[in-house]
Amino acid sequence: MNFNKKGFLGPIGDDLPSLIPLLFALVIFFSTFTSTFNVYQKGAATFSNNTDVLRLANVLKGDSYLRDFSEFETACNQVTVSGISFKAFIIPLKIGSQNFNFNPKELVNKDETQILVSDGKTETISVLERADSSNELKKFKCSNIPDEENLILQKKDIVSSEDSLFVRFFPIAFEDKLKCGVIENPHGLTGCTKTGFAVRPVLLVVVAWL
Amino acid sequence: MALNRKGQASVTDAMYFLIIISGLATLMFFYTANYGSLVTTQTVKQYNTEFATSALKTILYSSTARDNLSLNESEEIDYLLAVLKEDYAIIEKNGSRLKDSTKTSLKNNIETVMSPFQRNFDYLYYIYSLKKSEEDERLLEEFVIIFLYSGLSVEDEDSPGGRNILRIGSFCTSNESLDSIRVNFVRHVGEVSRAPELSVFLPDYTDPKNPRNVRALSSLLMWPSTDIKEALQASNLNCPELQNLTLN
């Protein structure tokens, strides 16, 4: 019998009390690490999605000067984003209007919405529509959603998940062809009152969701 | 004797380990808390800068009617920048570089372009000429135009706290340099998103025998709405319409 080993319970038994703070520390470390990692992943995903939305908006707005529908259509075909559903459209801006308050989500499912202008009055704004090179009226909208049916399915998600919804506005200068008004002059001849174009400010609205 | 202390030493080691881990966990917690806000700030800043850049280009590209009618009714439509250049070329009799009609068109245009952000953001648009002296090539820098949309805190019995911030768009003047505005104004308005400065060439016919092009810089700054009083004082910006708000 060795009396010098009075309290000795063996290699593990002797270190048992020290294992408690050790395990506690490991639990704290791994739970904090997991939580930090998740927050980082979520932040990185948000940042990446935001960057994607900005990138697709940059493709659509080009140099912030839009000449006609075909230019918009070409830009729309060049947009490549994955993991994000989006719908982008151009709406006119009324010169002199200071207040601009509307719900862009409404424009996702229909092509017009109510806009709150000054003094609580509302006006209807619609997606910009102009004739293309073949004189056919086209709406300035672009989306990576294949068909309307799909959009209806995703409508629920758009409304419910505010966290994963991105709405971005970008002003663009739009080269609007002036309509040729026919007048009759005193000599009985007809002619055009105007030719050329006016560059108007319009608004590119990008609504994207995960 | 030494054997009897073996267990106590390992408990002390474990306690040290726990303290180190607690420190690390605290650091990670603070990192997590800051990372979220950092990402949000960076994302918002990136978007605001993109918006300001788009807005600046749109303002510079836009058309205006020369006959003060709407664009749909007008028979004479030109680029707003062309009209502005035309005004700048010759100094008016009252010493002004720009006609009132041009200023009104510019104001309407800027406010329209900025309307999606106007509810929550203030902004400043400027054109700053980098004119050089004929004699000694000295820079005669001056602001051609400064348009500020912002507000001042005024007494308002109907508002909570008895004060309210009234915001309007106003043309301003300044004898200070662009650098001074950048430093003294920006410092007082908080987090500013700024469009990159674009070069504009303005024709100068003040000396008819020696017409020349003057290089100017144009930019747009925007920031979350705030009381502009301190920034105006610090930067010596003179905005009569805005400053009259406190008197009325």
- Asked if the structure places residue A141 within a domain, the reply is yes
Interface membership of B92 toward A (CB under 8 Å): no
- Asked if the structure places residue A120 within a domain, the reply is yes
- Asked if the structure places residue A10 within a domain, the reply is no
Instruction: Give the residue extent of every domain in chain B.
Output: 44-246
Q: How far is A149 from chain B (nearest CA, A)?
A: 31
Please tell me the distance from the alpha carbon of residue B54 to that of residue B182, in angstroms, as a whole number: 21
Report CB contact under 8 Å: A47, B42: yes
pTM exceeds 0.80, yes or no: yes
Q: Which helix (H) or strand (E) holds B176?
A: none
Using CB atoms, which residue from A18, A39, A54 is nearest to B47? A54
- As a whole-number percent, the residues of chain B with pLDDT over 90 amount to 16
**pLDDT: which is higher, B97 or B84:** B84
**Which of the four pLDDT bands, split at 50, 70 and 90, describes residue B72?**
confident
On the question of pLDDT at B78 being above 80, the answer is yes
Task: Find the angle CA(B219)-CA(B225)-CA(B228) to the nearest 5 degrees.
Answer: 80
Write down the pLDDT at residue A170.
92
Which residues of chain A does B39 touch, with a Cβ-Cβ cutoff of 8 Å?
43-44, 46-47
On the question of pLDDT at B51 being above 80, the answer is yes
On the question of pLDDT at B31 being above 80, the answer is yes
- Asked if the structure places residue A177 within a domain, the reply is yes
DSSP codes, B4-67: GGHHHHHHHHHHHHHHHHHHHHHHHHHHHHHHHHHHHHHHHHHHHHHHHHHHHHHHHH-EEETT
- Asked if the structure places residue A22 within a domain, the reply is no
Q: How far is B71 from chain A (nearest CA, A)?
A: 7
Please tell me the distance from the alpha carbon of residue A85 to that of residue A185, in angstroms, as a whole number: 54
Write down the pLDDT at residue A183.
45
Report CB contact under 8 Å: A22, B70: no
Report CB contact under 8 Å: B58, A173: yes
B125-153: pLDDT as tens digits = 999 988 877 766 677 788 888 999 988 87
Mean pLDDT of all residues belonging to chain B: 83
Q: For residue B145, count other CB atoms closer than 10 A to its CB.
A: 22
The residue-averaged pLDDT of B159-176 equals: 81
Lowest mean pLDDT among B34-38, B53-57, B121-125: B34-38
B13, B115, B117, B149: which to substitute to probe chain A, counting the most A Cβ within 10 Å? Answer: B115
The residue-averaged pLDDT of B115-129 equals: 88
The residue-averaged pLDDT of B27-56 equals: 87
The residue-averaged pLDDT of B96-115 equals: 86
Write down the pLDDT at residue B126.
92
Write down the pLDDT at residue B213.
85
- Asked if the structure places residue A160 within a domain, the reply is yes
Domain count of the fold of chain A: 1
- Asked if the structure places residue A143 within a domain, the reply is yes
Write down the pLDDT at residue A7.
63
**pLDDT: which is higher, A151 or B49:** B49
Lowest mean pLDDT among A180-184, B15-19, B175-179, B195-199: A180-184
Show the tokens assigned to A17.
């009390």
Q: Walk along chain A (210 residues) in steps of 10 and give the mean pLDDT of each run.
A: 58 73 90 90 84 90 89 89 85 73 70 69 80 83 72 53 76 82 47 68 87
Write down the pLDDT at residue A151.
57
Cβ contacts of B177 within 8 Å, gap of 6 or more: B141
